[in-house]
Structure 1
Amino acid sequence: MKKLREGVSTGSCMTGGAAAAALWLTTGKCPDIITVETPIGKTLYLDVIPKEKGICGIVKDAGDDPDVTNGSEVITSVKILPEDGEITFVGGDGIGTITQEGLKLPVGEPAINPVPRQMAEKALRKIIGNRGAVVTVSIPGGGELAKRTFNPRLGVLGGLSVLGTTGIVRPMSEEAMKDSLLVELDMYARQGHRSILFVLGTTGENALKARYGQFACVLQVSNYIGFMIEEAVERGFTDILIGGFVGKLVKVASGTMNTHSHVADGRLETICTHAALHGASREVIEKIYSCVTTKAAMKIVEEEGLMDIWKDMAEKAALHCKKTAHEMAEVGIIFLDGDNQVLAESENVQEILPKVLRQQEE
């Protein structure tokens, strides 16, 4: 198997651009290549695109990671102040602004995360000493690209975030996805929320909002149900609703806490087991078991008058989730059918719903 190529974080691009711009200002010459020391000890060698004195660009190379900013130019300008002082950061074109509490930066700040700031400051101090400076970062086209990221959900508006805790981009989209989910979960925890709705995707989220109303905080957890339950409990959440298409969530009724097809399946086996417990004949169970899709199995279940099994499976899924939460949170399950209507709820959903729904005064 081919080894995937690592990339360079947006924070490293900003750091490289800032260092190159500062060298241009202090030496009169813009370097062709700039070195960046990452927090994990790797040294990067980045090509510099000179713009004008004190302004340099670095093209983001995300390696083999499917990063929306791959190929974007990160442009950094540096203004060195005459007196000693702090280094401040300004968001230029394409950089978002923090509008919600709970992130690592205060409301109103440009979305340039703490580690990239520290990296840039460390690099600049080697060049300008104790002098004050203003660093302005831009990513042309960042406003449009940001619509394809988690930023709108996090209340980061108007553009992208300058990210990176290691300085490099590892081509592991699952790890990156989990990191993104935890940023959102941390934000809700810091805002004081202790109840949350987990959904598998946008379609399910929209369907649940249409059925129940607006939720105080919603997080699209993709396939990582068990992981996110454990992380939520660790952060003090005590009530969790999980809603989504039964074709995915039925796996949870068998105790499968990662619903990705490469991890496990067991959908038809689970449906067959519950159909048998409800008195289905061997012939019916064989028909269900021979189905290729959950949708086909659902049709047989309906034709055979076995619709009560969905409620049982929702209860079983809720039980497995509560065990995953180490009994420290109440977890309710909502199955949606193929038309995004509620197929079944676990018994505790009606108890959890008022805690998860947004209150009128909010």
Structure 2
Amino acid sequence: MSSTQSGLRYGWTTGACATAATTAAYTALLTGEFPDPVEIVLPRGQRPAFALDREELAPGRAMAGVVKDAGDDPDVTHGAVVMATVRLGEPGTGVRFAAGPGVGTVTKPGLPLAVGEPAINPVPRKMMTEHVAETAARYGGTGDVEVEVSIENGEEIARKTWNPRLGILGGLSVLGTTGVVVPYSCSAWIDSIRRGVDVARALGHEHVAGCTGSTSEQVVRGLYGLPDEALLDMGDFAGAVLKYLRRHPVPRLTIAGGIGKLAKLADGHLDLHSSRSQVDKDFLARLAADAGATDALAARLTHANTALAALQLCQEADIPLGDLVARHARRTALSVLREAPVAVDVVVIDRAGTIVGRA
């Protein structure tokens, strides 16, 4: 398996694993033998080979399973067994997909799949369909099959994902646009943010909230009574929320988070992760000075240990640092949204969940 420049290993998506399992199962159905390892072709031309973890052949059906290797990415599905059961279908029916145990079903609009469909995304469906056709051509099949995808313990794993909030019930989604998992690309999280906006829009919600964590989410829920589908688990990806809403606007956006992360947004950072942006204490000191802080206080702020410590110093001196951070964070958000018709408010909290600033 290849690796990134930093030496981290790439992995394979659930869609790639399902395609490998499907190819192996259909090959066994037509020939009586499971190819092991089984090689597939990914959308960008890579040709990975997958060892089979399990196989089962019976009249009219075959099942194969592979263990998902997400490489060095902290993927909740790493190590899960992805299985495909292929059954012969009626002539002319083509490839039909079914959700087996551990694969979810779509129950809300706004996703790239219709309500009631198995949560097997369009690119994995295309990959599996193409490999079924290629296998049929090679071994004399018709290509008319039902492919049932299952993921061992998928329903339990799915509770750690966005799926329940997006209305994907009963298990995981079969995902992947390239077949490759890039370590720490966070592409799955960003894709979940986008799908969250899509679902909120499809359900007609006119107010969504991007929250940096569970505490800010609870605060926003208490302030506005927003339903689960309107709450976006933004994490560190403020830029992902804002850029997607610029193209797919919702009338109102609330951004909520702790003073540290929102101080970074106020300073123009769109990725709020500690490894990719830092709180600029000099910036906070300038905000406070513009609001009337003494030179002595401003000097103390530049040496404050954290943004929270800076906030506490300002609170003692009656300087509304939380409101100033909220105002500048809102300004950053509006600059990213450009002319999109989205009204923005910002809520800044401390670690206890107390609101310390609004704009």
Query: TM-score when scaled to structure 1?
Result: 0.89
1:117-136 aligned within 5 A: 117-128=125-136, 129-136=141-148
Does the Cα contact within 8 Å between 1:74 and 1:138 map onto a contact in 2?
yes
Distance 2:249 2:6 in 1: 41
**Alignment partner for residue 113 of structure 1, among 104, 109, 121?**
121
Q: Which moved more, 1:248-257 or 1:34-43?
A: 248-257
For 1:266 and 1:50, locate their aligned partners in 2 and report how far apart those are by CA, in whole Å. 50
Q: Percent identity?
A: 34
C-alpha distance in 2 between matches for 1:235 and 1:28? 50
| Counterpart for residue 214 of structure 1 | 226
Is the Cα contact below 8 Å between 1:19 and 1:34 reproduced in 2? yes
- Other structure's SS at 2:40 match: strand
User: Does residue 258 of structure 2 align to residue 245 of structure 1?
Assistant: yes
Q: 1:225 aligns with which of 238, 256, 263?
A: 238
Whether 2:91 is the aligned partner of 1:83: answer yes
Please show how residues 1-362 of structure 1 align to structure 2 within 5 Å: 2-53=6-57, 54-128=62-136, 129-215=141-227, 217-306=230-319, 308-328=320-340, 329-346=342-359
**1:85/1:139 CA distance change after superposition, 3 Å:** same
Q: Structure 1 pair 235/281, CA: closer, same or farther in 2 (3 Å)?
A: same
- In structure 1, C-alpha distance between the alignment counterparts of 2:76 and 2:332, rounded to whole Å: 36
Displacement after TM superposition at 1:23 (Å): 1.5
Structure 2 letter corresponding to 1:139: I
1:75–1:264 CA distance, 2 compared to 1 (3 A): closer
Secondary structure of the structure 2 residue equivalent to 1:90: strand
Distance 1:25 1:263, change over 3 A: closer
Q: Secondary structure at the match of 1:173?
A: coil
Cα distance in 2, alignment partners of residues 38 and 148 from structure 1: 27
**Residues in 2 aligned to 1:23 and 1:266: alpha-carbon distance in whole angstroms:** 56
SS in 2 for 1:152: helix
Deviation, 1:34, is 1.1
Does the CA-based 8 Å contact 1:318-1:333 persist in structure 2?
A: yes
CA distance, structure 2, for counterparts of residue 305 and residue 285 of structure 1: 13
Give CA-to-partner distance per residue, 1:30-60, whole Å, 9 cap, x none. Answer: 2222111111111121112343201111111
Aligned residue pairs total 345
2:27 alignment partner, SS class? helix
Mapped to 2, the partners of 1:52 and 1:257 lie a distance apart of 49
Question: Whole-Å Cα distance in 1 between the matches of residues 327 and 96 of structure 2?
Answer: 53
* Alignment-mate amino acid for residue 184 of structure 1: G
| CA contact 1:8–1:63 (8 Å) conserved in 2 | yes
| Cα 1:278–1:32 shift into 2, 3 Å | closer
* Farther-moved stretch of structure 1 (83-92 vs 185-194): 185-194
CA distance 1:335–1:64, change in 2 (3 Å) = same
* 1:137 Cα offset (Å): 1.4
Q: SS at 1:56's partner residue? A: strand
Q: Is the 8 A contact 2:74 2:184 kept in 1?
A: no
1:176-199 Cα deviation digits (max 9, x unpaired)? 332332232233344444532111
- SS at structure 1 position matched to 2:131: helix
1:15: how far off?
Answer: 1.3
Shift of residue 325, structure 1, vs aligned partner: 1.2
SS at match of 2:87: strand
Kindly tell me: are residues 74 and 175 of structure 1, through their superposed partners in 2, closer, same or farther at Cα, counting changes over 3 Å?
Answer: closer
* Alpha-carbon distance in 2 for matches of 1:214, 1:191: 13
* Structure 1 counterpart SS, 2:48: strand
Aligned partner of residue 4 in structure 1, secondary structure: coil
Is the CA contact (8 Å cut-off) linking 1:181 and 1:221 kept in structure 2? yes
Return the alpha-carbon distance in structure 2 between the equivalents of residues 192 and 130 of structure 1.
43
Q: Which amino acid is the alignment partner of residue 260 of structure 1?
A: H
Question: Aligned-pair distance for 1:257?
Answer: 2.6
The 1:338–1:18 alpha-carbon spacing in structure 2 relative to 1, beyond 3 Å, is closer
- Structure 1 residues 289, 83: CA separation in 2 closer, same or farther (over 3 Å shift)? same
On the 8 A contact 1:85/1:130 being kept in 2, the answer is: no
Closer, same or farther: CA 202–297 of 1 in aligned 2, 3 Å: same
C-alpha separation between the residues in 2 aligned to 1:211 and 1:193? 16
312-321 vs 105-114, which moves further: 312-321
Distance 1:100 1:293, change over 3 A: same
**Which deviates further from its counterpart, 114-123 or 182-191?**
182-191
Q: Which runs of 5+ in 2 are unaligned?
A: none
Unaligned runs of 5+ in 1: 347-362
Q: Secondary structure at the match of 2:351?
A: coil
CA distance in 1, matches of 2:264, 2:13: 36
